[in-house]
Structure formats: structure tokens, C-alpha cells
A = this chain, B = another copy of it.
């Protein structure tokens, strides 16, 4: 079954979208809006609590949770971040003594990133408050069944998108023959 959804603008123009479920636009807009609001609050907390940006926090937690060392590319793909941006952030984190970078023994090109004890300590200090904020903003209005559904749904969506080739696999610009 396919239903039509209409977008009517004040200019008088109407766009008719056919989508399998008329609830899709609403779900999508609510999703992005809620996540934006949540991220903004989380950023405030991390900044005041641990002097960290959201990206830096994500990098550190990824590293802390990783069983071994991660390469720059793995880290960048993990947090959905540009590789040049990661170079910049890794520089900051290394200067702050929170991570270490050293060349991989297997591949001379690769850089292995490790979290330092200081970095781990920072994560441990900030994480409880972080989870509290998320708890208060995201989960407070949800039932256990809701949480279950949400986790199930988003895991499926994430895996679906992860099955597409990652960011680092994007075709690189061909060098101009000259």
C-alpha cells in the first residue's frame, strides 16, 4: 500500500510525495530535531564538566572501549568524521596528554592511537554525568518497552547504513595528468 503525503507551502505550491508510510516525514523530523536538542545539551555538559567537545569525548570513549589500538582511519570512520579533522583533534588530544600516536609496526603508513591513563581517567570522571544528562533528557519520558524498541530500531538502521561502504572508501580525486 502506498499513500500520498502533501507538503503545502504558504506560497500556495503543493508537493505531493508518495511514500510507503505517511508517518515517515513526521518520524524523520522528530528524530533529527530531538537529536539536535540532545546533542546541544550534551555539548554544554561536556564543555563545562570536562572541557571537552562532543567529538573529543566520542573519540576518547571509542578508544577507551576499544580492545586494542585503533588507526586514525578506523577512528574517523567510527565517529563519522573527516580524516583531516581527526588529525587536528588528535593533535589537540595528544598535546593534552590524553592519547598517544605512534606508527604501526605492520604498516608504516598507519598511525596507531592509544588512550593514556590520564585520558581514561578523564572519561571515567565525565561519563557518569554524561549518562545522567542523557537519562534526564532522552529516557525520562520513555517506558522500558520504548527503550527496547528504540534500541532495536536504531541498531537495525545503523547496521543498514554501516553496510554501505564507509566514508574513507569514497573514490579519491584522480590526479590530473599533467
Interface on A for B, CB 8 Å cutoff? 7, 9-11, 13, 15, 17, 19-21, 23-28, 30-41, 64-68, 79-80, 115, 117, 120, 123-124, 127-128, 131, 134-135, 137-142, 144, 146-151, 153-162, 164, 167
CB atoms of B151 and A120 under 8 A apart: no
Max chain B C-beta neighbours (<10 A), residue from A7, A33, A34, A128: A34
Max chain B C-beta neighbours (<10 A), residue from A10, A20, A146, A157: A157
CB atoms of A37 and B137 under 8 A apart: no
CB atoms of B64 and A131 under 8 A apart: no
CB atoms of B34 and A161 under 8 A apart: yes
CB atoms of B150 and A153 under 8 A apart: yes
Residues of B within 8 A of A9 (CB): 64-65, 120, 123-124
